[in-house]
Structure 1
Amino acid sequence: MADNTTRRTVLAGTAAGLGLLTVGTVAADEEQVRYVVTGGSPQQLEREGFTVVHEISDANVYLILGPEDADPTSVDGVNSAFEDFTYELDVADEPTEAPTGELEDEQWDKDLINAFDAHDHATGADTRIGIIDTGVHDGHPDLGNVDVDASRTFIDWEESDHTGDVQYHGTHVAGIAAATGSEGVTGVAPDAEIVSLRVFPSEGPLLASVGDTLLALDHAAEQGLDVVNMSIGSAPQPPEENQEGYRIARQQVVRSVTQRGTSVVVSAGNDSQNLQQGGWISLWGSIPRASSISATTEADELADFSNYGANEISVGAPGDMILSTFDPDNEALPGTEYASASGTSMSAPQVAGLVGLVRELDPNANVNQVENAIERGATGDGRDDPETGAGRIDALETVDLL
């Protein structure tokens, strides 16, 4: 992308209807807007005056630049198009500093899902877990398993090197999935490798774009990661938005990623919303082949903030006051290396870590087989439960099935 292009934000098109922000770019000579397009070909798009910046060829999705008043759907073969838009990080509550004393004793979540017992059978060795988030603090004593070289940053459609965490969220999420336990806390898959895929900027509002997230997803599949965790999203959207072009693009990319062998685990959201009633949808969860995870409490009940809904939730996992790693360079709790936080952001990485255990024991399992193993190992009322889908995960039961 040209150096004379700067970021701007406008309200327009699909995202304006959602109450989200579309992201365009302004060039020196004329206005250029970022579009996400499905269908067509780079050659056809270029002939019609668009600039193809990125191709996600396995998904037939393209990130392009064009005039503000352009209509990419007029190009032969294009099925849908929308102006790229941003969404903010979905956080249920502010974090709280960890108590003093033996931290492992505070990991009620790992006890509840029998993760420590499961480690007698599998620890996630030789598996790789991607974290699409605010970045991961690789200097943390319990995150020595971050692959700095493989980790990447995707901002404004540009890929760059790993630069750590711009907040604390990604570090906390990564620890839940795969903290090594070297000093304080242990993740579900402590011997897995963590690959940070940051999509939130270091300056300005903490907003990620759909385009950058699609690039991070594609990168995860290209790198052959076993699973990618997406504890990101927005408030639930009304059913009339379900057929918009932005859903088509996300669905095609997620399908492409899972077909290439990378599981996609997403947080269900923190709005206490029944996603089935009235047809409400989750930005990343209401997509076939993405496993959407609700949050449960220490009492083994649905957390009051968690979204839910029949046919929307794959499984539930602990997500209320979860102790994990923390980036000490943050504004919320400066200097803190361990903290507790709540949200479906905390429940999703429990499942991502469990994917690591399954793939260690059965490295040739495809995405559907991994998901089926986790669902069969879950404890609950079964696949149709609106609160926890197939049930609340149980790591020991899952690995015992393999």
Structure 2
Amino acid sequence: MEEYVFIPDHRSSGEQLVATLQAVVAIDTELDFLAAPAGGAWGALPVAVRPMAEEAMTRGLEILEVVPQSGVALVRTSIAGPAPAAVGGTFHPVVNYTMAVADVRVGRLRLTGSLGPSGAEFFSIALQSAGTNKPIGNAIATLGLKNGSQQLTAVSDSAGIVRFGLRAKAVMDAMLAIEPGFAGHWGYLQRKADLVSGSVIMLDPIDLAGSADSLRHLLPPGPAGSGRGVVVGVVDSGVGPHNHLTNVEGDDDSSIGHGTHVAGIIAGNGGNGYAGVAPGASIRSYRVFDDPATGIARNFEIHRAIEQAVDDGCHIINLSLKAEREASPSHDDRVLSQAIEDAAEQGVLVVAAAGNDFRRFVAFPARHRDAIAVSALGWEPGLPANAYDRWTVSSDRGDPDRDVFFATFSNEGHAPTRIDLIGPGAGVVSTVPGDQYAPMSGTSMACPAMTGAIARILSANPAVLTMPPTRARYQAMRQLAFASLRKHGFGAIREGGGMII
């Protein structure tokens, strides 16, 4: 069985055609019925849609779901081979998308319970919180042996003990990386470590009241009402619940944590330096990443979420996601393209992550002409000395501020793609499930930073915010987004116009 996404040629006729398909599929499909299409319920169909109905029957089409706003449908066919031709529309392949986060935190649930071997003879380390000495459980630890000969991964137990599948009393010149998940710590990275079995590794707790991360240094949180009146759609893994996300409606987080982190960057309302960019904005959550094991969403679900966000009155839609496998900078997924174009026609601005393919071209859908593509930078003093997220630091430094760097992972605007804006995306601290905070890195983080900045500007310009929902409002919002930018010396291919201030 093959699945496709059907896009009708015209919105109004498309709804009628899809409704007809649904009706026909529900009718008895015995061969004698097909042989006499002019009689019975067949004959009751409008003449204009009979070819579509006949095609549905002969191709064994099953309508799985329909987006009522656009008539776009997810269909299944029993006929193997290339995508079928269509009357009144076109069939497109199902395309998978992943979250545009560059570290492994959102994959931590896949390793839960993988505690490593038991027994004192195996090489082990202990993880503790600096200051309190409390053990840190359920953290992912990776040990890379000298010369890259072996890489071992295990998860800490409730006592903070990590046991690797290695019988040794010590390791020399090893790489040690600790990713603590949602435990409120920065994690740990040491590229050349000499360790004896039983070594205690201290992880720095997050303290934004004492030391800002790259987001709060480069784009300080707005006042409590900043962003008020602006509704932001977050199409992601769901959001919250979290005690510093009191301005959210819609789908809860699937436990992946990515959507909650994104929402906190936009509009978290925690105090003492923990607030988001526009804490007064409202968030509407649309969960498309449901499965923590795969971390994948299909284009149909994302299209449906965008259409629903437009219907729900969102002014901005945040897409911290990218096509899973993308070999060409000219790739165009018409399923998402139509949703983004429809959103622009109805006055809604889409902001999207450029992707984390280590300087490759901008990913889809960020490079769509109606989307704003965002790359990532960081601020090195915002990362503790042994923080896990220091792997994002590059030698590409800002001008005049040499503490600012272009993130190692961030994509660039190689032709025919382009970068529009750049935002803080390396070691950004934000809300995660369990009323916790954790750092993450990726254009997934830079994207909501710029989404929040646009919400803040839009809230301060009610004349634009209250315009009729047409492309004219979209254009006015886009102009506001580019009205006040700061360049960091990375050039247009990396930072586009710069960062909103």
- TM-score (normalised: structure 1): 0.74
Deviation at 1:107, TM superposition (A): 3.5
Give the distance between the partners of 1:177 and 1:274, measured in 2 at CA.
Answer: 26
- Deviation digits for residues 361-398 of structure 1 (CA, Å, limit 9, x no counterpart): 2213522222222222111179970111111221xxxx
Alignment-mate amino acid for residue 103 of structure 1? L
SS in 2 for 1:201: coil
Q: Deviations over 1:309-361 (max 9, x none)?
A: 15521100000101111113xxxxxxx70111111011000111122212212
1:266 counterpart letter in structure 2:
A
Alignment partner, residue 135 of structure 2: none
Alignment partner of 2:418 out of 312, 318, 329: 312
Shift of 1:110: 4.2
- Cα 1:273–1:234 change in 2 (3 A) is farther
Deviation of residue 214 (structure 1)? 0.8
2:498 matched to which residue of 1?
391
Aligned counterpart, 2:103: 93
Letter aligned with residue 55 of structure 2? E
Is 1:375 aligned with 2:482? yes
Paired amino acid for 1:269: G
Q: Which amino acid aligns with 1:129?
A: V
- The 3-state SS of whatever aligns with 1:301 is strand
- The answer for the alignment partner of 2:466 in structure 1 is 364
What amino acid maps onto 1:389 in structure 2? G
Q: Note closer, same or farther for the CA distance 1:91–1:133 as it changes in structure 2 (3 Å cut).
A: same
Task: For 1:253 and 1:202, locate their aligned partners in 2 and report how far apart those are by CA, in whole Å.
Answer: 23
Secondary structure of 2:255's aligned partner: coil
1:324 and 2:334 aligned? no
Q: 2:297 aligns with which of 202, 208, 211?
A: 208
* Counterpart in the other structure of 2:451: 352
CA distance in 2, matches of 1:66, 1:145: 42
Q: Which residue of the partner structure matches residue 234 of structure 2?
A: 131
Matched residue of 2:97: which SS? strand
Q: 1:226 — aligned with what?
A: 315
Query: What secondary structure, in the 3-state scheme, does the structure 2 residue paired with 1:386 have?
Result: helix
Q: Once the 2 structures are TM-superposed, how far is the Cα of residue 297 of structure 1 from its aligned partner?
A: 1.1
Give the Å deviation of 1:172.
0.9
- For 1:109, the aligned partner's letter is S
3-state SS, counterpart of residue 227 of structure 2: coil
| Pairing 1:88-167 to 2, within 5 Å after superposition | 88-95=98-105, 97-98=185-186, 99-100=204-205, 102-116=207-221, 118-119=222-223, 123-138=226-241, 140-147=242-249, 151=250, 162-167=251-256
1:168 aligns with 2:257: yes
Match for residue 48 of structure 1 among 43, 55, 58: 55
Which deviates more from structure 2 when the two are superposed, residues 80-89 or residues 253-262? 80-89
Residue in 1 that maps onto 2:406: 302
Q: Does the CA contact (< 8 Å) of 2:376 and 2:443 recur in 1?
A: yes
- The amino acid across from 2:368 in the alignment is I
Distance in 2 separating the partners of 1:290 and 1:375: 13
- Which deviations, in whole Å up to 9, do the C-alpha atoms of 1:127-186 show, x marking residues without a partner? 211111111112x12111112xxx1xxxxxxxxxx3433211111111111101257610
Q: Does residue 264 of the first structure (1) align with residue 371 of the second (2)?
A: no
Q: Cα gap change, 1:83/1:342 in structure 2, threshold over 3 Å: closer, same or farther?
A: same
Alpha-carbon contact 1:55-1:63 (below 8 Å) kept: yes
| Contact residue 310 and residue 348 of structure 2 kept, 8 A | yes
For 1:342, the equivalent position in structure 2 comes to 441
Contact 1:376–1:390 under 8 Å retained in 2? no
Shift of 1:224: 1.0
CA contact (8 A) 2:329 2:363 kept: no
CA distance in 1, matches of 2:451, 2:81: 40
Q: Find the residue that maps to 2:322 and give its secondary structure.
A: coil
Q: Does 1:82 align with 2:92?
A: yes
1:34 aligned residue: 3
Aligned to 1:69: 80
How far off its partner does 1:51 sit? 4.0
**Which letter does structure 2 place at the counterpart of 1:214?**
H
- How far 1:239 sits from its partner (Å)? 2.6
Q: Do the aligned partners of residues 383 and 319 (structure 1) sit closer, same or farther apart at CA in structure 2, a change above 3 Å counting? A: closer
Check 1:322–1:388 CA distance in 2 against 1; reply closer, same or farther (3 A cut).
same
Q: Is the 8 A contact 2:320 2:352 kept in 1?
A: yes
3-state SS of paired residue (2:455): helix
Amino acid at match of 1:133: D
Answer 1 or 2: higher relative contact order, Cα 8 Å, separation at least 6.
1
For 1:163 and 1:57, the matched residues in 2 are separated by 23
Q: Any conservation in 2 of the 1:107–1:323 contact (CA below 8 Å)?
A: no
Larger Rg: 1 or 2? 2
Cα drift, residue 109 of structure 1: 3.5
Identity %, equivalent residues: 24
Q: Distance in 2 between matches of 1:209 and 1:75?
A: 21
CA distance in structure 2 between the aligned counterparts of 1:171 and 1:377, rounded to whole angstroms = 28
1:142–1:183: 8 Å Cα contact kept in structure 2? no
Q: Is the 8 A contact 2:96 2:323 kept in 1?
A: no
